Structure 1
Amino acid sequence: MRIGVYPGTFDPITRGHTDIVARSLHLFDRLFLAVAPNPRKEPLLSIAHRVELAKIATKEFPHVEVEPFDGLLVKYVRDRGAHAIIRGLRALSDFEHEFQMALLNRKIDEQLETVFLMPSEEFSYLTSSIVKELAMFGGPLEDFVHPEVANKLRQCYTKHP
């Protein structure tokens, strides 16, 4: 069985992320979507909320398991019996950091591969930050996130303008 891990903060999960999930399932039999804290970012949503919303956004994909993750990614991947890390690349600017991380992970475990996938062109500009900014200003969200994710974001910004 080919198992992949798609890690990220998913704050919030977007249609770009779910596009990468769909593309990953053409390559892998099973996918773990690993929702992680990021010490370099201050998330809007708690990790529990991000996991909940990621489960909702990926419920149409039966071979995807969403779970929280904290710690060394290579260890998490090994513990899940996975063979690869999936990373989405929207633009050339994403590549430098992702390339460095892929080489670091390979140095730690030479059997581990990183698979870079590009989202559909319609999502190539989409980031969680853009979605949060749209939500903050009351913009339309449904083209960019699952409707339940949109509702949760609206609630966040209604409570904390």
Structure 2
Amino acid sequence: MSRTLRRRLTQDSHGRLEWNCPRGCGCANFYPGSFDPVTNGHLDIIERGCKLFDEIIIAILVNPEKKALFTVEERREILEEVLTLVESDNCTLRVDSFEGLLMRYAVEQRADAVVRGIRAISDYEYELQMALMNRRQEPRIETVFMMAAEAYSYVSSRLVKEVYSLGGTIEGLVPATVEERMRKKFGRS
């Protein structure tokens, strides 16, 4: 664990570990993803992350090789709109986008940690490999894994797009604004 994070993890009088990150200490968290589209699972990770960090940078990964449903600018607009629904507990939420190496961007943003949501063992295997490579690139920045809430343990952006494109319902899986924008994208009334 990095020294920055270790200082923030303390024991209470009963020996239980507590996260000690008083507001203003600069505890920054970086949550990267495609967010194409943002799901309620993403928002759950952000909301719970706000209990741990002063600031969460929600960073949209720009991958020119991948065909996206929404443009980076549309994803940014959607995120900024739906983040107003998140109980942020005085945590600063900021939306940004980046290309290239994750760790390079994290260093530029002075992030202490990268948070990744884990839904299943298959996610863990992939994310563990990425975390180890990221640690090799930048050992000072930790990867924090957060388990998906049970209600969202099967929800992914890819699955949301697939179900919707085949005429299925996505109610409860994405914020209402995402569902509305998807209706427009797919030409549904």
Of 27, 38, 54, which residue of structure 1 is paired with 2:79? Answer: 54
Between 1 and 2, higher relative CO (CA 8 Å, sep ≥ 6) is seen in 1
Q: Distance in 2 between matches of 1:21 and 1:70?
A: 21
- Which AA in structure 2 matches 1:18? L
TM-score (norm 2): 0.79
Post-superposition CA distance 1:1-29 (Å, at most 9, x none): 21000000011000000001011111111
Cα distance in 2, alignment partners of residues 106 and 9 from structure 1: 21
Q: Whole-Å Cα distance in 2 between the matches of residues 101 and 55 of structure 1? A: 27
Of the three residues 148, 172, 179, the one matched with 1:119 is 148
Percent identical among aligned pairs is: 39
Compared CA separation, residues 91 and 41, structure 1 to 2 (3 A): farther
Determine if contact 1:138/1:154 at 8 Å carries over to the other structure.
Answer: no
Give 5+ residue unaligned stretches, structure 1. none
1:39 Cα deviation (Å)?
5.4
Matched, 1:105 2:134: yes
Distance in 2 (alpha carbons) for counterparts of 1:11 and 1:138: 18
2:102 to 56, 73, 81: 73
C-alpha displacement of 1:59 = 1.8
User: Which TM-score applies when normalising by structure 1?
Assistant: 0.92
Match of 2:45 in 1: 20
Q: Does 1:11 align with 2:36?
A: yes
Cα distance change on mapping 1:65 and 1:71 into 2, 3 Å? same
SS at match of 1:59: helix
| Partner in structure 1 of residue 69 of structure 2 | 44
- Number of equivalenced pairs: 159
**Structure 2 unpaired stretches of 5+:** 1-25
- The 2-side partners of 1:120 and 1:97 are apart by 19
Distance 1:70 1:129 in 2: 20
Distance 2:178 2:171 in 1: 9
Cα offsets for 1:58-98 (capped at 9, x unmatched): 12346210111112111211111110000000000011111
Using the alignment, how far apart are the partners of 1:97 and 1:133 within structure 2?
21
Task: Report if the CA contact (8 A) 1:19-1:120 is conserved.
Answer: yes
Deviation at 1:42, TM superposition (A): 2.0
